[in-house]
Amino acid sequence: MTETDNPPRLAVLATGGTIASKKGADGAASPALTGQDLLAVLPPMAVELAPRELLARDSSCLTLADMQMVSDAVGLALADPGLAGVVVLHGTDAMEETALLVELQHRPGKPVVFTGAQFASDHALSDGPGNLADAVQRALTGVPGVALVFGGRSLPAWGLYKFASDSADAFRLAGGPQAVLAPLPAPVAGLRVDIVAVHPGGDALHLDASIAAGARGIVIAALGSGNGTPELVAGVARARAAGVPMAAQPRGSSSAKATTQRRALRSSGSMLPMAMRPTTALVAHMAGGVASIRTRRGVSCIANPWSKRRAARRWAGLDAQV
């Protein structure tokens, strides 16, 4: 066989999760299989798979340092000219957050495909082998960027969220298309960004407590299209005056009509990322900051505040005015 006849080579990064889990004596499933174990059940495929063990953890237990480790490992694989792409085996609880982090930090020019399972490897409905085979096939297409292959779907990292815990078809997309101008390479390990939920009658107590605890940024899980109570809005204004950047995450589309409180959040310096859940907005905030901009269609979207056109808008003090 000549060099040109060699099959493409993919890195397979194993991090644990349900796909690698078996039920223990206590009835609880926990990671027990290696990446090599999982690859052994695949049907014959015209590809060389190079497994690497990174972690063996349930993704609900991942730390920011763990997520950064996964992103760094993906970056090393992307830099290897002998690799055509990367498949990441990951737990579903934090899959969307790690996938977005990789997308933000690397903007891959090769395929990076995340997959996992809803049912453990020894479950009668085990879906891991099928998802893994589909993920490998998706990586072999050569389509660049980060994608999730799961339950027969192929979805981009932007707007990804887990909507079901008891179905093999577990992920969907929120909102519309997004725009990122350049990679956001800031490491997230050791960085604290908190999520503060808004509810009827809520005040700024939790916001103030997060800032007092040393939060470098705050994601506001807002009401409706990005609204907050008057007390919360006043707290956001105080935080911004102190140099703490904010990202207000709406429950629905932020292209809806602007209410007084939504305008107040914007005027006090809060940002309104679209097509994200609070936890993925948090990842974007940590990976370098987010700013609310306008596309030609007038839709709010994510932008890189460290791009050349926004060089003055740094993580420590983003200008969120539209």
For 68-100, give the DSSP string. HHHHHHHHHHHT-TT--EEEEE--STTHHHHHH
> For residue 136, which of 127, 146, 145, 149 has the smallest C-alpha distance?
149
Angle between the 95-106 and 64-78 helix axes, to the nearest 10 degrees? 50
Helix, strand, or coil here: 153? strand
What contacts 282, CB < 8 A, 6 or more positions away?
A: 97, 193, 195, 219, 247
Q: Which positions ≥6 away from 260 have C-beta within 8 Å?
A: none
Active site residues: 18
Residue count (the chain): 322
E strand or H helix that includes residue 10: strand 9-16
Task: Judge whether 13 and 98 are in contact, CB under 8 Å.
Answer: no
Return the exposure string of 99-109: e unless at least 16 CB atoms fall within 10 Å of the residue's CB, then b: bbbbbbbbbbe
Of residues 41, 31, 109, 104, the one with CA closest to residue 70: 104
Please, what is the Cα angle at 199 between 193 and 201, to 5 degrees? 125
